[in-house]
Amino acid sequence: MSENTPLVSHDGPIRWGIVGTGNIAKIFARDLPLARSAELVAVGSRSQEKADAFGDMFNIPRRYDSYEGIVNDPDIDVVYVATPHPWHHDITIQLLNAGKNVLCEKPMAMNVAETREMIEAARANGCFLMEAIWTRFRPAMVKVREFLNDGTIGEVQYLTATMGWNNPFDADFRLFNKDLGGSALLDAGIYAVQMVQMVLGKPVEMVSVATLGESGVDENCMITTRHANGGVANAGITVRASSRNLCMIAGSNGTIVMDHDWHRPSTFTLFRAGQEPEFFDCSHEGIGYQFEMNEVEDCLRGGIIEHPVISWSDSLEIAQIMQDALRSWGVTFPYDRD
């Protein structure tokens, strides 16, 4: 990373604000004390009651009954956007236009057009923006990337990344509700898609299939891609089967296997031709969101508005794969645009 004018003007802990008080906001807030230098200074909710309850839970001094409270608070260095995906775009753009740096939950937006507008707003305002693909910063994934980059397994030609769980249908739950951005692919399949994109880049060819459920959202899907180096990949998600989560990255000289919750890996095995398998254990404290918080801190202090490990073009490529797949299955949302 190059050194530019810092995006924060103090040496104290990074002052985080949070927008939304749901499931992931709580998990994130729980991990925040594990970050190198971070404090939670403000929370915004659609209701004062929820802002206060969240504030009490995590000892947050400033609690707002609207997201605008966070937008207008001058003493926040970076905002974590933790609303359901259809509400990522508007609030992120408001925050960026108010000069705030943003870590936005995944998927960054509902489609490519929204993603592009968010990136344009970050660029125009000189603010940091990153899609919260936290898995890329976990120590195990950092080690896997080292092996990919230093040629340990040779040129990757074959990748499979699949995950899932059996989630009983619930029309009100975000996953099954199109008004809330419902789609197994957007919700969790993005982990498999981002893995393919991280390892093999943008596809040159793609075919995919999905099974749609009673609310018209994709519940089982498989996306197969071919890439410029000849490599092929499978990215799958199911919310209808009690699936093991498996990822195998196979190169000309060896294979990396993550056979336990690879979307949030702590361990993996390296297989090299003619050698004993090597098992790596990269366990750590907490769930592991502190690692992306530390990366955000490095960017803010280093004046970097686009993180190289989950860059804006990465987010656009991930959004394009998902948009193309969803549209090919006939999954439409009230938020669709070209």
Ligand X SMILES: NC(=O)c1ccc[n+]([C@@H]2O[C@H](COP(=O)([O-])OP(=O)(O)OC[C@H]3O[C@@H](n4cnc5c(N)ncnc54)[C@H](OP(=O)(O)O)[C@@H]3O)[C@@H](O)[C@H]2O)c1
| Chain residues that interact with ligand X, rule: CB under 6 A | 20-25, 45-47, 50, 82-85, 87, 105-106, 132, 134, 174, 180, 187
CB of 192 to ligand X, least distance (A): 14
Q: Specify burial of residue 12 (Cβ count, 10 A radius: 0-12, 13-18, 19+).
A: exposed
Q: Indicate the residue among 174 and 307 with the shorter CB distance to ligand X.
A: 174
Q: Tokens for 14?
A: 């990074």
Q: Indicate the residue among 135 and 255 with the shorter CB distance to ligand X.
A: 135
Q: Indicate the residue among 133 and 206 with the shorter CB distance to ligand X.
A: 133
Residue among 132, 153, 335 nearest 252 (CA): 153
- Strands 38-44 and 62-64 turn out to be parallel
Q: Indicate the residue among 231 and 236 with the shorter CB distance to ligand X.
A: 236
CB of 305 to ligand X, least distance (A): 21
181 with 85: CB under 8 angstroms?
A: yes
CB of 132 to ligand X, least distance (A): 5
Give the residue nearest to ligand X (CB): 22
Q: What angle is formed at CA 226 by the lines to CA 220 and CA 230, rounded to 5 degrees? A: 150
Q: Indicate the residue among 162 and 255 with the shorter CB distance to ligand X.
A: 162
Q: Tokens for 167?
A: 């989630």
Residue among 179, 164, 19, 181 nearest 100 (CA): 19
Backbone angles phi, psi at 278, to 5 degrees: -115, 130
Q: Indicate the residue among 64 and 147 with the shorter CB distance to ligand X.
A: 64
Measured distance CA(227)–CA(224) in Å, rounded: 10
CB of 57 to ligand X, least distance (A): 12
Report which secondary-structure segment, H or E, holds 62: strand 62-64
CB of 85 to ligand X, least distance (A): 4
Relative orientation angle of helices 112-125 and 312-328, to the nearest 10 degrees: 160
CB of 138 to ligand X, least distance (A): 11
